[in-house]
């Protein structure tokens, strides 16, 4: 790894960590999350002012909402991020959910935003059939090969492993992919991002698997904290493992959550959690993002868009007296440290 040690591997090549600037560590620019049975024949119903309210609460109701495939729209949305002061987006669309390395490279050039791409597999419902028969070593080789040689013949390399998808209870294929991801992490020295199952036991269980497979909890990012853990004590227990805690559902301000029996917090509550964790010494393990993966999250379709944290969350942080240095840690220094290859 000597040549790239300490560097960030973006879709346009290596950059120095100091060049990233304001970074959102869990987004999707190009992605297709249409569930398997619907994927083939689906014809989209346009999103309109009449149905956008319903779709914001029930994002699965129109599968076309789960398709972000337009580079033109992506460029338009990311320009606003750039104009608001944004520097880098981590796109965690993994293999077989619409990942498009060349599309990301074109978008990165067009908007002058760094893009770090992921590799891995999402939840079992999105695994290609061959996952069942491949060994964990063979799956780890797929990830390592992409890191070293690029995706297919594009020469475009991922810069992070994940988001690795987990259900709860865990499918055997998901545990195998996570072990493979941890093995690949040990080999290439990259960060590993986990999408945990929707149960409070899921994050610690995932960290246990990472450790057993030789991965590094300190370089592991636990996504979606705020739809998985609902007390500061539970979050602190996870923090003790050394992993990054990613609050990546900012802008989801509705308490209703269509796919689990939970009360979703809002942005102000998320900031309160962050402040509590900073007070307890975990400032350098916190990350923030929006996890944009539906059309209705884009400005064009009535959503808040990629600039929401810059435009709307930083003022909440300021109002609650988070200081500038803490905000810079969460949005600039922590992402850069997390993404730098070992
Ligand atoms: Zn995601």
Convert the pLDDT of each residue in 128-150 to its tens digit. 999 999 999 999 999 999 999 99
CA of residue 76 to ligand 1 center, whole Å: 20
Q: Rounded mean pLDDT of 114-118?
A: 98
CA of residue 253 to ligand 1 center, whole Å: 17
Q: Please, which pLDDT band fits residue 44 given cuts at 50, 70 and 90? A: low
Residue 17 predicted with pLDDT over 80: yes
What whole-number distance in Å separates Cα of residue 177 and Cα of residue 163? 11
CA of residue 152 to ligand 1 center, whole Å: 23
Whether the link from the prior residue into 169 is cis, omega within 30° of 0, is yes
Q: Please, which pLDDT band fits residue 1 given cuts at 50, 70 and 90? A: very low
Convert the pLDDT of each residue in 197-239 to its tens digit. 999 999 999 999 999 999 999 999 999 999 999 999 999 999 9
CA of residue 225 to ligand 1 center, whole Å: 12
Q: What is the residue-averaged pLDDT of the chain?
A: 95
CA of residue 195 to ligand 1 center, whole Å: 7
CA of residue 24 to ligand 1 center, whole Å: 12
Residue 38 predicted with pLDDT over 60: no
CA of residue 295 to ligand 1 center, whole Å: 14
CA of residue 134 to ligand 1 center, whole Å: 25
CA of residue 25 to ligand 1 center, whole Å: 10
> Model's pTM, two decimal places?
0.96
Q: Which of 52-56, 165-169, 238-242 has the lowest mean pLDDT?
A: 52-56
Query: Using H for helix, E for strand and C for coil, what is the string for the chain?
Result: CHHHCCCEEECCEEECHHHCCEEEEEECCCEECCCHHHHCCCCCCCCCCCCHHHHHHCHHHCHHHHEECCHHHHHHHHHHHHHCCEEEEEECCCCCCCCCHHHHHHHHHHHCCEEEEEECCCCHHHCCHHHHCCCHHHHHHHHHHHHHHCCCCCCCCCCEEEEEECCCCCCHHHHHHHHHHHHHHHHHCCCEEEECCCCCCHHHHHHHHHHHCCCCHHHEEECCHHHCCCCHHHHHHHHCCCCEEEECCCCCCCCCCCCCCCCCCCHHHHHHHHHHHHHCCCHHHEEECCCCCCHHHCHHHCCCCCCHHHHHHHHHHHHCCCCHHHHHHHHHHHHHHHHCCC
CA of residue 29 to ligand 1 center, whole Å: 10
pLDDT of residue 240: 98
CA of residue 27 to ligand 1 center, whole Å: 6
pLDDT of residue 64: 87
CA of residue 221 to ligand 1 center, whole Å: 12
CA of residue 40 to ligand 1 center, whole Å: 22
Residue 41 predicted with pLDDT over 90: no
Residue 2 predicted with pLDDT over 70: no
Q: Please, which pLDDT band fits residue 45 given cuts at 50, 70 and 90? A: confident
pLDDT of residue 37: 55
Percent of the chain with pLDDT over 70: 96
CA of residue 54 to ligand 1 center, whole Å: 21
Convert the pLDDT of each residue in 93-112 to its tens digit. 999 999 999 999 999 999 99
CA of residue 114 to ligand 1 center, whole Å: 18
CA of residue 282 to ligand 1 center, whole Å: 23
CA of residue 2 to ligand 1 center, whole Å: 30
CA of residue 26 to ligand 1 center, whole Å: 6
CA of residue 248 to ligand 1 center, whole Å: 8
CA of residue 30 to ligand 1 center, whole Å: 11
Residue 35 predicted with pLDDT over 80: no
CA of residue 288 to ligand 1 center, whole Å: 12
Q: Please, which pLDDT band fits residue 36 given cuts at 50, 70 and 90? A: low
CA of residue 198 to ligand 1 center, whole Å: 14
pLDDT of residue 40: 52
CA of residue 293 to ligand 1 center, whole Å: 7
Convert the pLDDT of each residue in 245-288 to its tens digit. 999 999 999 999 988 999 999 999 999 999 999 999 999 999 99
């Amino acid at each position: 790894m000597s040549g790239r040690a300490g560097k960030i591997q973006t879709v346009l090549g290596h950059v120095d960590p100091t060049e990233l600037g304001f970074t959102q560590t869990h987004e999707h620019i190009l992605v297709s999350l249409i569930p398997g049975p619907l994927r083939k024949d689906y014809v989209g119903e346009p999103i309109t002012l009449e149905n956008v309210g319903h779709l914001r609460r029930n994002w699965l109701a129109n599968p076309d909402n789960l398709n972000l495939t337009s580079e033109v729209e992506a460029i338009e949305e990311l320009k606003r991020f750039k104009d608001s002061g944004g520097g880098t987006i981590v796109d965690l669309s993994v293999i077989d959910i619409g990942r498009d390395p060349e599309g990301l490279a074109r978008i990165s050039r067009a908007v002058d935003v760094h893009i770090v791409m992921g590799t891995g597999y999402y939840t079992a419902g999105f695994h290609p059939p061959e996952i069942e028969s491949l060994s964990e070593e063979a799956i780890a080789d797929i990830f390592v090969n992409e890191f070293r040689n690029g995706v297919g013949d594009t020469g475009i390399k991922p810069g992070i492993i994940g988001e690795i998808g987990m259900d709860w209870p865990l499918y055997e294929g998901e545990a195998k992919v996570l072990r493979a991801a941890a093995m690949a992490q040990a080999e290439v020295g990259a960060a590993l991002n986990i999408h945990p199952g929707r149960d409070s036991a899921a994050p610690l269980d995932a960290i246990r698997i990472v450790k057993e497979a030789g991965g590094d909890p300190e370089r592991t990012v636990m996504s979606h904290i705020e739809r998985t853990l609902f007390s500061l004590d539970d979050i602190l227990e996870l923090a003790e493992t050394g992993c990054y805690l990613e609050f990546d559902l900012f802008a989801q301000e509705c308490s209703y959550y269509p796919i689990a029996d939970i009360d979703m917090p809002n942005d102000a509550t998320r900031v309160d959690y962050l402040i509590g964790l900073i007070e307890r010494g975990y400032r350098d393990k916190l990350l923030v993002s929006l996890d944009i993966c539906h059309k209705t999250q884009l400005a064009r379709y009535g959503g808040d868009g990629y600039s929401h944290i810059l435009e709307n969350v930083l003022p909440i942080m300021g109002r609650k007296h988070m200081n500038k240095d803490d905000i810079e840690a969460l949005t600039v220094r922590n992402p850069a440290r997390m993404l730098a290859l070992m």
